[in-house]
Amino acid sequence: MQIRGSRVLLTGATGGLGHAIARSLAAEGATLVLTGRRAEVLEPLAEELGAVAVAADLSRREDVDRLASDHADVDVVVHNAALPASGPLESYAVDELDRALEVDLRAPLVLTRLLVPAMRGRGRGHVVFISSMSAKVPTADASLYAAAKAGLRGFAQGLRPELAPHGIGVSVVFPGFIRDAGMFADTGVTLPPGVGTNTPQEVADAVVRVIARDEGERSVAPLGVRAGGLVNAIRPGLLGRLAARLGGSRVGSEMAAAQRTKR
């Protein structure tokens, strides 16, 4: 997919990862449509990059429909918006659970469904889902988040061969713990010794790469974390028990407490 000259819709553009992805895509020559809930953050970024700013709340189904109808001409959509969705399942009211699934899973699926017909008509396009290493290595106090992010992976894996004959690529990027900006960085939680992090720019670079090279999946995490994904696929649950012994439970509970107000 040629990024230069393409029109890209980026959700979740007001967050730290969104800023990095937007700037990297703009540097590659894309024309951007940036969406997010906070117009006061979105509009300065859009002005900087010569982009279109669209305030939207993806927990509102009418906003998802509006994005699709108003911007059906996009060549690429990058689904970056997400709620943290951390904490024990029983700590969630049902309406909080519904909102997390609306933003983290339903909105990307429905927005893709609504944008794909126009892409298919043009014979070109690309869909990128920002998932998480939580989809490959779920941990305690993040079951809801892991479910949504794993759902994106399954959807993308099925959709990729479905859309390939129509000239449309489908990719998933799996960030691990990201420092400096983003959900994890905002919590201020410290990781156990030996657990590494990556930068927002590395995630942005991965987004550019999967579009340009039509890669199905790319993980943005240290080698040990990526290897953990492979181990978990073979022996589900093993890493969860190991993580609990090494302080993973503390990380999960501290992150859940720090993100409680974002449900």
Residue 71 to residue 26: CA distance in whole angstroms:
18
Phi/psi of residue 4, nearest 5 degrees: -60, 125
Q: Can you tell me the distance from the alpha carbon of 44 to that of 16, in angstroms, rounded to the nearest whole number?
A: 14
Catalytic hit among 145, 155, 174, 184: 145
C-alpha–C-alpha distance, residues 240 and 258, integer Å = 21
Q: Is 92 a catalytic residue?
A: no
CB–CB of 149/97 below 8 Å? no
Q: Buried b vs exposed e over 80-103: b needs ≥16 C-beta within 10 Å?
A: bbbbbbbbeeeebeeeeeebbbbb
Q: How many residues does the chain have?
A: 263
Q: How many Å apart are CA 135 and CA 175, to the nearest integer?
A: 10
Helices (H), 50-93: 61-70
User: Which residue numbers are catalytic?
Assistant: 145
